[in-house]
């Protein structure tokens, strides 16, 4: 028995599945422990898993070949799919604002990094496999490495007589410099440009305050002669259906509060609760009278407000007008909360699984609507494996579609990285397809993302660790680190100078762009702590999805064009 345990824990030239799993879990557990250690507010996080994998691989530990390939690809699929689910809603909404500008700058930086890689390949005589590995490590882009390895596997089948280098070696050597390089550049640029962080925070808050439009609710006292005697329906016709929502009314001299219908007549000194966008509400208030301080209209004795969660399958993808809560149950929907966003409950708004609807009505009406909508918090907490694996299947299928380009020996594919990411983005934007939705509670998303990247880092590190020292000496690893640093620093300088002086981007937003363009969570974590701000996180999420896809395609195209 003791001999069997020792065999499982010692390096083996041909490990079985049990030994492989033990080595994998050892790499992940040690890596997570080391990743929590902070040095001057900087920690490696899950990135440390790759370095523990390198160490174990260097010490002779290995993974069974088929197990290695499965864990590497499955981990990558889990990681990018969860990223797409997490970033999807904010990604598409941000494109309508500053997101387009941010993504253009990030894509230009990616293109410059690709150009730098090409020039180093031409001028230094490095193989394109190692050059792409250096690029992926220098910009800390794990999916790009995965795409490069996938296309090399396909090329190996096409050119069986040739031997290709493993880009994971160059990636592992340049990755630490890539992580630290972004962090050092953030600190240095703050000092070089003499950035006043407090001033940057104030400038951002002022701009955000002016641009962010969320629904509001205001109480209105009816005083204007032109409004007195009109019905709610006439007011809706005057301003447009769905312009604002009248959720409550209290007639003057009465304590009775109810939800008005289109036929309800407005009398002088009545108090209305008006819900809508700030400008819309202000115009309606000006037409009706003035804002009221009456608190009785908010009483919950006769009319209540509740938040109901969309969890019934037959409610998903229906619009509020199709649910017809008003005619069915005399119930008003005032707002919808989705992925951290607050929306006005307009009639044509399509509902997604996990949406939260704010409704106003009497107790019986709300109970009936609850049966229709679902409102099951338990269902939200339960993992919907049909949706999860259905989405993953779609992602793998999309990633496997060959894109034939003339003169290329093999077709280009989005692969296991970009395919699931693109599908997750689209599903989260449109609420799903049929029975497949992308609602996953926050804790589950974070678990899936970290598990996926740990599996990938551990398998890549253990594989690259074999002969790591010999390869470092053979290829002069310090030279690779120098080349990788050039790929890290020069595009970063271009991004900061262009963003700061031409596009006039707030420095804290620019820090998020730097971390997002280099897909560097360690730099993001450092920035949030160093600047004591969450602003970098917002821009990081805005560019991360598109940049990841661009870096995946860049890695594949460089190999296919230059190999």
pTM of the model as a whole = 0.69
- One domain for residues 148 and 231: no
CB 212 within 8 A of CB 93: no
Supply the DSSP string of 86-125, one letter for each residue. HHHHHHHHHHTTTHHHHHHHHHHHHHHHHHHHHHHHHHH-
Burial class (CB in 10 A: 0-12, 13-18, 19+), 99: buried
Backbone phi and psi for residue 335, each to the nearest 5 degrees, phi listed first: -145, 155
Q: What is the spatial distance between Cα 476 and Cα 449, in angstroms, rounded to a whole number? A: 34
Q: What is the structure's pLDDT at 110? A: 93
Residue at which a domain ends, from 351, 379, 407: 379
Domain shared by 260 and 136, yes or no: no
Q: How far apart are CA 493 and CA 538, in angstroms?
A: 21
Q: How far apart are CA 338 and CA 87, in angstroms?
A: 13
List 337's β-bridge partners, or say none.
342, 356
pLDDT of residue 8: 67
**Do residues 311 and 328 both lie within one domain?**
yes
User: Quick one: 387 and 372 in the same domain?
Assistant: no
CB 466 within 8 A of CB 57: yes
- 3-state SS of 380-407? HHCCCHHHHHHHHHHHHHHHHCCECCCC
Residue 398 forms part of a structural domain: yes
Q: Are residues 375 and 404 in the same domain?
A: no
What are the beta bridge partners of residue 343? 336
Looking at residue 71, what is its pLDDT?
85
Residue 211: inside a domain, yes or no? Answer: no
185 and 333 co-located in one domain:
no
**Which stretches of 432-534 are DSSP H helices?**
442-465, 468-474, 477-497, 507-517, 521-531
Q: Please give the Cα distance from 550 to 522 (Å, whole number).
A: 21
386-418 b/e with 16+ CB inside 10 Å = b? Answer: ebbebbbebbbebbeeeeeeeeeebebbbbbbb
Instruction: Provide the CATH number for the domain around residue 337.
Output: 3.30.70.1450
Residue where a domain stops, chosen among 339, 358, 379: 379
The reply to whether 181 and 279 lie within a common domain is no
The confidence score (pLDDT) of residue 105 equals 93
Asked whether residue 62 is domain-assigned, the answer is: yes
Answer yes or no: are the C-beta atoms of 135 and 177 closer than 8 Å: no
Contact between 319 and 348 (Cβ < 8 Å): yes
Q: How many residues does the chain have?
A: 563
> 251 and 151, same structural domain?
no
Q: CB within 8 A of 373, min separation 6: which ones?
A: 308, 309, 310, 311, 312, 315, 323, 357
Which pairs from 528-531 meet CB under 8 Å and 24+ separation? 529/41, 530/41, 530/186, 530/187, 531/197
In this structure, the answer to whether residues 147 and 199 fall within a common structural domain is yes
Q: Which range marks the domain in which residue 344 is found?
A: 216-379
d(CA 285, CA 486): 59
224 lies in a domain?
Answer: yes
Per-residue pLDDT 10s for the chain (563 aa) are 666 677 666 777 677 788 888 888 888 888 888 877 777 666 667 777 878 888 888 888 888 888 888 888 888 888 878 877 776 666 666 666 677 889 899 999 999 999 999 999 999 888 898 899 999 889 888 778 878 888 887 787 777 777 788 888 888 888 778 877 888 888 888 888 888 888 888 887 777 655 556 677 889 999 999 999 999 888 888 888 778 888 888 888 888 888 788 888 999 999 998 888 888 889 999 999 998 888 887 776 667 778 888 878 777 778 888 877 776 776 778 778 776 667 777 777 777 777 888 888 777 778 888 888 887 777 767 777 777 888 888 888 988 888 777 767 667 777 777 788 888 888 877 766 766 776 777 677 788 888 888 888 888 788 777 777 777 777 778 888 899 999 999 999 999 999 988 988 888 889 989 988 987 766 776 777 678 777 787 787 778 878 888 888 888 889 888 87
What is the per-residue pLDDT for 490? 93
501 contacts: CB under 8 Å, gap ≥ 6: none
Q: Is 315 within 8 Å of 353 (Cβ atoms)?
A: no
Q: Is there a contact between 111 and 456 (Cβ–Cβ < 8 Å)?
A: no
Query: In the listed set 314, 349, 379, which residue is the last one of a domain according to the structure?
Result: 379
Structural domains of the chain, count: 2
Spatial CA neighbour of 361 closest among 242, 259, 232? 259
pLDDT recorded at residue 118? 93
Q: H helices of 125-166, where?
A: 128-138, 142-158
Q: Name the nearest CA neighbour of 456 among 36, 172, 132.
A: 172
pLDDT at 213: 62
Q: Give Cα 450 to chain centroid, integer Å.
A: 13
Angle at 361 between CA 359 and CA 365, to 5 degrees: 95
495 and 427 within one domain: yes
Say whether 169 sits in a helix, a strand or coil: helix
Q: Are 131 and 222 found together in one domain? A: no
- Look at residue 262 in the predicted model and tell me its pLDDT: 83
Q: How far apart are CA 49 and CA 461, in angstroms?
A: 8
What's the rounded Cα separation, in Å, for the pair 140 and 157? 28
| Residue 222 tokens, joined | 């009816």
Inside any domain, residue 455? yes
pLDDT at residue 493, as a whole number: 92
> How far is the CA of 450 from the CAs of 24, 79, 83, 168, in angstroms?
15, 7, 10, 20
Do 113 and 261 lie in one domain? The reply is no
């Amino acid at each position: 028995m003791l001999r069997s345990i020792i065999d499982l824990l010692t390096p083996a030239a041909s490990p079985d599945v049990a030994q492989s799993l033990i080595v994998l879990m050892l790499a992940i557990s040690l890596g997570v422990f080391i990743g929590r250690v902070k040095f001057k507010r900087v920690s490696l996080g899950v990135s440390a898993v790759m370095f523990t994998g390198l160490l174990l691989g260097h010490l002779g530990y290995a993974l069974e070949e088929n197990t290695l390939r499965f864990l590497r690809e499955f981990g990558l699929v889990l990681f990018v799919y969860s990223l797409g689910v997490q970033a999807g809603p904010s990604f598409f909404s941000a494109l309508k604002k500053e997101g387009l500008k941010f993504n253009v700058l990030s894509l230009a930086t990616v293109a410059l990094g690709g150009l730098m890689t090409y020039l180093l390949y031409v001028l230094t005589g490095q193989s394109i496999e190692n050059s792409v590995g250096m690029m992926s490590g220098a910009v800390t882009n794990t999916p790009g490495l995965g795409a490069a390895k996938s296309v090399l596997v396909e090329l190996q089948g096409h050119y069986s007589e040739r031997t290709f280098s493993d880009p994971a070696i160059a990636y592992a050597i340049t990755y630490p410099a890539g992580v630290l390089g972004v962090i050092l550049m953030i600190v240095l640029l703050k000092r070089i440009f003499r950035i006043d962080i407090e001033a940057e925070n104030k400038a951002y808050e002022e701009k955000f305050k002016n641009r962010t439009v969320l629904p509001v609710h205001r109480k209105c006292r009816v005083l204007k002669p032109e409004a007195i005697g009109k019905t709610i329906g006439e007011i809706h016709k005057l301003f447009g259906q769905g312009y604002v929502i009248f959720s409550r009314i209290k007639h003057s001299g009465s304590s009775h509060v109810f939800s008005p219908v289109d036929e309800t007549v407005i009398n002088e000194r009545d108090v209305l609760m008006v819900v809508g966008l700030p400008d819309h509400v202000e115009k309606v208030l000006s037409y009706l009278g003035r804002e009221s301080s009456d608190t009785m209209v908010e009483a919950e004795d006769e009319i209540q407000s509740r938040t109901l969660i969309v969890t019934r399958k037959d409610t998903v993808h229906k619009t509020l007008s199709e649910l017809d809560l008003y005619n069915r149950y005399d119930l008003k929907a005032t707002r919808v909360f989705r992925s951290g966003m607050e929306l006005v409950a307009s009639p044509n708004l399509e509902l997604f699984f996990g949406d939260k609807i704010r409704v106003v009505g009497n107790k019986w009406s709300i109970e009936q609507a609850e049966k229709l909508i679902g409102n099951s918090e338990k269902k939200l907490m339960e993992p919907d494996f049909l949706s999860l694996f259905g989405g993953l299947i779609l992602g793998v299928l999309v990633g496997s579609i060959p894109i034939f380009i003339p003169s290329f020996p093999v077709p280009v594919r989005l692969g296991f990285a970009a395919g699931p990411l693109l599908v997750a983005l689209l599903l989260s934007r449109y609420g799903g397809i049929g029975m497949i939705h992308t609602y996953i509670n926050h804790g589950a998303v974070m678990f899936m993302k970290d598990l996926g990247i740990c599996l990938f880092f551990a398998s890549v590190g253990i594989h690259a660790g074999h002969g790591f020292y010999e390869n470092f000496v053979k290829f002069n690893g310090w030279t690779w680190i120098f080349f990788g640093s050039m790929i890290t620093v020069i595009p970063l300088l271009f991004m900061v100078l262009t963003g700061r002086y031409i596009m006039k981007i707030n420095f804290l937003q620019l820090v998020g762009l730097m971390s997002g363009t280099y897909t560097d969570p360690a730099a993001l974590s450092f920035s949030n702590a160093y600047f004591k701000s969450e602003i970098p996180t917002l821009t990081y999420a805005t560019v991360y999805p598109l940049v990841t896809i661009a870096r995946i395609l860049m890695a594949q195209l460089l190999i296919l064009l230059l190999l």
